[in-house]
Structure 1
Amino acid sequence: MAYEWHEFENNAAAAQGLADAVAAALQTALDKKGSAVLAVSGGRSPIAFFEALSKKDLDWQNTGITLVDERIVPTTHDDSNTKLVREYLLQNKAAAAKWIPVVEDGQTEAGLQPEAVVQTALQHYVQPDALVLGMGGDGHTASLFPQAPQLQQGLTDTETPLLHTTPVTAPHERVSMTLDAVAKTPAVFLAIGGAEKKAVFDQAVQRPSETHPVSFVLNHQGINCHVFYAN
């Protein structure tokens, strides 16, 4: 299987372990080329990881931070991943990092048209050196959702790193990295917690299936995914 398993006693230890590993991956990129880009996922579960990473001693001025996926909402919206990252990751030492936007500031709900948002995001896009994925109870990762009409495109498109997706099982139109863009990232991490998600993970590692889109990451021979888990 194309993954490595890292298990921790509790969520705090997992968050710290993930922060250590991501910081090391960013340092590798910084040492190699003088710059680094990290893409992160949203939701509530990454907050402890964000806070731990924000305190790391890194050359943050030469580090860019962006999103694996984003809800197509204004950046001041409570569901905005941009807002979450600014509140919890772009703090402390990481406040010096360069933000690479997916949804630009100052947009209104009415003015956010999905295809235009994707085109603007592509103008800012920089291929990450490291990225952190999450996984939903439905087996989605990034905003590659089961049943989404754009799922097949997200799994097969090798030309464009970002696409618009329409979740059937979650609110808001989204922008998401494609599977190919994930595969081109040297350091890939997946953070999951709890027995329910472990059961989904155990199904997903068996074989690639659109029922659990994360399975395409876990079974991709070009991706060595480091899975960080706490029960």
Structure 2
Amino acid sequence: MSLSSLAAARGLPLHQASSAAEQAQQLAERVAEALNRALSTSATASLALSGGRSPEAFLRQLDRQPVNWSRIRLTLVDERWVPDTHADSNAGLVRRCMPTALRSATWYGLYQGGAPQRQPESDAQAASAFLQAWLPLDVVVLGMGTDGHCASLFPEQPGLEARLARNAPALCEAVPGPQQAPRLTLTGAALRTARLQLLAISGEDKYQRLCDAFVGPATQWPVAAFLAPPLEIFYSPEG
């Protein structure tokens, strides 16, 4: 079955762009629309963003959107356990791409490190405690790897099934990433509270992997845990 058929069967909107640039614009406008709608009925709105390399164009477009960033609470879906000066830092990516937003938004970076006694686990505990007041999240933007992972929730990761659940024991956990590099990730207990969940993918490989996830278990394809309303999918053939 095609992705459009699989998404329609679950009641999931599928936004198909002809280019990466068009996808970035569509996604930025959808996030801004949702945040502004949330702000029309609440003093603040909360947004959790994905990092990596794919979202750069989207983040730059989002920074230009007409949003009152002083009323936005902004955090990350996941983070490598490195300072924001590191080339692999998701926080560093957001800082480079969204300078306008970060001048006034309330920002919470998952990595707090620095002090000798800090460990990924202590940062995860601090994030779980801090972000409790931000729930339910208003918007979550997810990406997906070619292995079907999203956030830092990887196939066959120890404890994955519990971590994906709505009643996961913590909002944020320290987990091993590829090559066992430590990461911090929000869990289903945080991500699945979001009133709007957006999944952005691009390229034929990820298209096929997402189709697999619609019919496979979340333990094999972690993104499968999120393939239900209120998710919307944004796809571009360009990687």
2:106 pairs with 1:98: yes
Corresponding residue SS for 2:208: helix
Match of 1:6 in 2: 15
Name the counterpart of 1:71.
Answer: 80
TM-score (norm 2): 0.87
Counterparts of 1:134 and 1:36, CA distance in 2: 21
Partner SS, residue 215 of structure 2: coil
Deviation at 1:14, TM superposition (A): 0.3
Matched, 1:107 2:95: no
Q: Contact 2:47/2:73 (CA < 8 Å) preserved in 1?
A: yes
Give me the whole-angstrom Cα distance separating, in 2, the residues matched to 1:111 and 1:80: 20
Q: TM (normalized to structure 1)?
A: 0.90
RMSD of equivalent CA atoms? 1.8
CA distance, structure 2, for counterparts of residue 99 and residue 209 of structure 1 = 30
8 Å contact from structure 2 (residues 47, 72) kept in 1: yes
Return the alpha-carbon distance in structure 1 between the equivalents of residues 57 and 108 of structure 2.
22
Q: 1:22 aligns with which of 25, 31, 34?
A: 31
Matched, 1:129 2:141: no
> What displacement does 1:150 show?
2.9
Q: 5+ unaligned residues in a row in structure 2: which ranges?
A: 1-9
Aligned with residue 192 of structure 2, among 183, 186, 203: 183
Which residue matches 2:92?
83
Q: 1:163 is aligned with what amino acid? A: E
Q: 1:161 aligns with which of 142, 162, 171?
A: 171
Distance 2:107 2:235 in 1: 28
Alpha-carbon distance in 2 for matches of 1:123, 1:209: 27
Retained in 1: the 8 A contact 2:95–2:102? no
> 1-side partners of 2:171 and 2:40: how far apart?
25
Other structure's SS at 1:32 match: coil
Output the CA distance in 2 between the equivalents of 1:2 and 1:83. Answer: 35
Q: Which secondary structure does the structure 1 equivalent of 2:161 belong to?
A: helix
Q: Secondary structure at the match of 2:156?
A: coil
How many residues end up aligned between the 2 structures?
Answer: 224
- Determine what percentage of the aligned residue pairs are the same residue: 36
| Alignment match of 2:59 (pick from 50, 59, 73) | 50
Deviations 1:179-214 (A, max 9, x none): 232221001000100001001011001243311100
Amino acid aligned to 1:165: V
5+ residue gaps, structure 1, are none
Q: Say if 1:204 and 1:37 are closer, same or farther in 2 by CA, change over 3 A.
A: same
Cα distance in structure 2, aligned partners of 1:124 and 1:31: 24
Displacement over 3 Å in runs of 4+: none
For 2:73, what is the secondary structure of its paired residue? Answer: strand
